[in-house]
Every structure is written in C-alpha cells, then in structure tokens.
A and B are shown apart, each in its own frame.
Chain A
Amino acid sequence: MTDHDSLDTLVGPALRERLNDERPDLEHLAATSLSAGLRLRRRRLAVSGAAAGVAAVAAVSVGAGLLSGGGTAARDDSGAQRPTATATVTAPGAATTAPAAEGDPAFPVVVDVPGWTCEYFAIDEKAWCTRGELGVSVVARPRSEYEAWKGNPDKEGSALWMSAPHGNYFATLQGGEGGLSPADLDAFVDGLVFAPRWDRPAR
C-alpha cells in the first residue's frame, strides 16, 4: 500500500493510463459545437435585438410625442401602456420556432408553457427553452437507453427531470441556467406534450 505522498504522484499517471484509449470523435465534436455555438449566438442576438428594437420604438414614440406637443410626452411617461424591453421580449408574440418545418425531422416533445419560448432542433434531438434568464433544454433519447438512465445518479441524477417512456423514446430536462425553482420546474413539466412515437433523425 502506498502512502499519501507517493499516491499523490501516482494519480496523474493512473488517470492518464485510464484515458489512454479514449479517443473522442473530434470532427463530430467540432461540427456539433459549431452548430450549437451558432444557435447560441443567434439566440442572444435575437434577444438583444428585440430588446434594442423595443427601446428604439419606445424612443421614437417618446420623440414623436415630444414633437407633436408637450402634453403627449407627459402622457407617454405616465402611461402603463408604454412597452418595456422585458415585457416585449417575453410577450406571446416573441419568436417561437415551430417544432419542425415541413419535411424536417420532427421533435417528439412540444413545450406548451406560458411565458416560455422554445427553439426546436430536431436534428440535434433537443429543444432549447428560455424565459428571461432561465434556460432549460429538452432532450429526446431512445427508449433503449431508458434502463441505463433510470436510477443512475450520473444520468437521471444529472437531469432536472426524466420522463417515463413514450413509445420508442423518453425525454430528459437538462440545464436550468439562471436558477429554476421547483415551482418553475413543475409548471414546465406540466406543459410538456409528448408524441406517441419519435421519428428519430438519421445520424
């Protein structure tokens, strides 16, 4: 048995020996990461663009009011009707990408939760939903992996929530960036609508 000091020097080599044969598919990693990174950028641009647009509309509105007469500006300033960036970004009219365009592979879960905006990436087998600073991803997984996930602390335990099997698939919720409360999670789960089967995209 090795003492602590010598053990200290052996851990690194032991880990390296263990991972020696692990060879990730770097081309796949690069392609999926680039795709995810582009989506993330677009999402951020869309949100900041919507906020900037609303701010610009509000500014123009206030400016027009000022030009048309002093009383209008006062009314604008006091009015609850004036849009705010936050209200507009999270309003029902905010962009919600359809689950799939015609001919595209379909994602089997639809999120129907008031206040949440979701983008569906059927080809990646994921949907990304946001509400303000909160973010949750819905991941569809083949039914064949269900047993490996169920009760596994590093699989089910790493997910926010795991569904029961639905036909040939099940779903997990991952992420929760921004501090999803238990009540938020419950409401989110209640709004999930599952298709009876999943036409999994070819990989």
Chain B
Amino acid sequence: MGVKADRQAEEFTAFVRATGAQLHHAALLLTGDHHLAEDLAQATYAKVFVRWRQVQAAQSPVAYARTILLNTFLSHRRLRRNGERPSDLTDTDVGPPEAGPDPALKVDLLVALTGLAPLDRAVVVLRYWEDRSVADTAAELGISESAVRTRARRALQRLRPLIDPISERTHP
C-alpha cells in the first residue's frame, strides 16, 4: 500500500477501534448470535471502508456506519423472508414467542429479541439502544411513525417478562 493508502488504513482502523463496540453490540441485538454479529459487523465495516471518504465527510460517521449496518441486516433478512414489507403491520409478522413468561426460565434477553421480526428488532435497537426519537427511527427505517410505535409496543410486550426482573434489580 502507498502512503495515502496506509494513512487511510490507519484512520479506518482507528475508527473501528472507536466505534466497534457500539456497532458490534447493535449487531448482537439484531442477530442474537455472536458469530452472526461478528459477520454483520465485519460486512458493515468492509462497506464503510469502501466508502471511507463519504463516511469521513459525513456529519456523523458512526451514524453513517450504523445505517449501513441496519441496511445490511434488513436487506439480508428481507431476502430470507421476502414476504415482509416495512409498511405491513400484521400480527403474523411477529412469530410465536420464544421466551416464556416465567422469569425462572432465565431466558436471555438476546434470545427473546430473536423472536421478534427483523424490523421490530431494528426498531428496538434504534429506539431503546440508540435512544433515537420515534421520528428519527421512522426516518432511518423508512416507515411511518405510527408503524414505529406499533412495532415498539409489540416488542415491549414480548420483552416485558425479561425486563421486569431486571427493573426490579436496578430500580428496587
């Protein structure tokens, strides 16, 4: 690699070091699996590297990278479940719950997330992990604000059995 390429590689590596944990965590919430999260994060950063100049010039490079992460996840999942469209909001796109209501089962929150439709997981990540507003989340995912609220509400209902015990520990 030349001097310019070396500098670019160094800048990119520093960017991954600075943002990798955040994106890897988001990938883990989306995929629910360490291997898949690693693959998703790597695929995301590879695309980031290809568009490195645009990423650097972006107002928020990490937000740019996160958008690539979400698009990569959703486009891949859409191929697998090509019936789902962002505007469709039916009960059928949320499968049967994998997490039982009994906290004694100690079902992992990540496992519970994998029981949600991919777009619902993306809503959870943006709304609750990234603390984005409903409007921001809707804009990011290309769905309506009411769709964000509906998906978030359904997701919370599914996660409630796991969150209640945590809230009792953290807010006794």
Contacts and interface: CB of A to CB of B under 8 A. Distances in A.
Interface of A: 1-2, 4, 6-8, 10-19, 22-24, 26-27, 29-34, 36-41, 44, 153-155, 157-158, 160, 174-177, 179-180
B25 to A, nearest CB: 5
B13 A34 contact: yes
Contacts of B12: 30, 33-34, 37
Contacts of A30: 12-13, 16-17, 20, 45
Contacts of A18: 108-110
Nearest to A17: B166
Contacts of A177: 75
B170 A175 contact: no
Interface in B1-50: 9, 12-13, 16-17, 20-21, 24-25, 28-29, 31-33, 35-36, 38-39, 41-50
Chain A interface secondary structure, helix, strand, loop or mixed? helix
A7 B80 contact: no
A22 B28 contact: yes
13 contacts: A1-B160, A1-B164, A7-B160, A22-B25, A26-B16, A29-B42, A30-B16, A32-B42, A34-B45, A44-B50, A155-B35, A160-B80, A180-B79
Nearest to B24: A24
Contacts of A6: 167
A22 B49 contact: no
Interface of B: 9, 12-13, 16-17, 20-21, 24-25, 28-29, 31-33, 35-36, 38-39, 41-50, 52, 75-77, 79-80, 108-110, 114, 124, 127-129, 131, 152-153, 156, 159-160, 162-164, 166-167, 170-171
A16 B16 CA distance: 20
Contacts of B35: 155
Given A8-B152, A30-B17, A36-B46, 6 more contacts: A13-B166, A13-B170, A14-B163, A22-B24, A29-B24, A158-B77
A103 to B, nearest CB: 23
Contacts of B31: 154, 158
A24 B20 contact: yes
B114 A153 contact: yes
Contacts of A180: 79
Contacts of B21: 23-24, 26
Contact of A36 (B20, B42, B114): B42
Nearest to B109: A18
Contacts of B127: 11
Contact of A33 (B16, B28, B114, B164): B16
Contacts of B124: 11, 15
B79 A29 contact: no
